[in-house]
């Protein structure tokens, strides 16, 4: 499988799935016109990645803003990651939050509490989210 990347736009985050390094980075802002279409593409790429039976995936989420539609899509993405973790893939999510953004931190904490097999670390976002 080859790497997958989407460049950030004014409404969508940058997405970088590096299969050799076993990393996924989501950074920027997320409020796409069609949330379902945008995140379905990511979910499909991850599904293909997981068919290669990787040993791990290190995920960095560095979103400075996301809307409610993106929040639902992120929950689905974390559920997909958790399913892979339940099948033996070591998944570590580092979720970077602005130290002053209690809403994003609470959302990340809620997701961390809901998933079982994935390790979620909530960290402070310092400076440039890329």
Residue 74 lies in domain: 4-124
Number of domains in the chain: 1
CB 96 within 8 A of CB 65: no
Structural domain contains residue 22: yes
Q: What is the pTM of this model?
A: 0.93
Confidence at residue 127, expressed as pLDDT on a 0 to 100 scale: 54
Q: How far apart are CA 43 and CA 60, in angstroms?
A: 16
- The single residue listed with the structure tokens 């809307």 is 67
Q: Does residue 128 surpass a pLDDT of 90?
A: no
Q: Does residue 129 surpass a pLDDT of 70?
A: no
Q: Find the distance separating the first CA and the last CA of the chain, reported in whole Å.
A: 24
CB 24 within 8 A of CB 16: yes
Q: What CATH number has the domain bearing residue 103?
A: 3.30.750
Angle subtended by helix axes 102-114 and 68-86, to nearest 10: 30
User: pLDDT digits over 23-54, tens only?
Assistant: 999 999 999 999 999 999 999 999 999 999 99
User: pLDDT digits over 102-119, tens only?
Assistant: 999 999 999 999 999 999
- Say what the alpha-carbon torsion angle 60, 66, 72, 73 is, to the nearest 10 degrees: -50
6 pLDDT band, cuts 50/70/90, is: very high
Q: Does residue 1 surpass a pLDDT of 90?
A: no
Structural domain contains residue 62: yes
């Amino acid at each position: 499988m080859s790497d997958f990347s989407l460049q950030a736009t004014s409404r969508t985050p940058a997405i970088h799935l590096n299969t050799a390094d076993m990393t996924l980075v989501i950074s920027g802002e997320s409020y796409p016109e069609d949330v379902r279409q945008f995140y379905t593409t990511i979910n499909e790429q991850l599904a293909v990645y997981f068919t290669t039976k990787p040993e791990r995936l290190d995920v960095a989420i560095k979103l400075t803003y996301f809307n409610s539609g993106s929040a639902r899509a992120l929950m689905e993405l974390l559920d997909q990651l958790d399913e892979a973790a339940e099948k033996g893939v070591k998944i570590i999510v580092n979720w970077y939050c602005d130290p002053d953004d209690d809403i994003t931190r609470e959302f990340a904490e809620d997701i961390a509490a809901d998933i079982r097999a994935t390790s979620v670390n909530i960290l402070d976002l310092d400076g440039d989210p890329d």
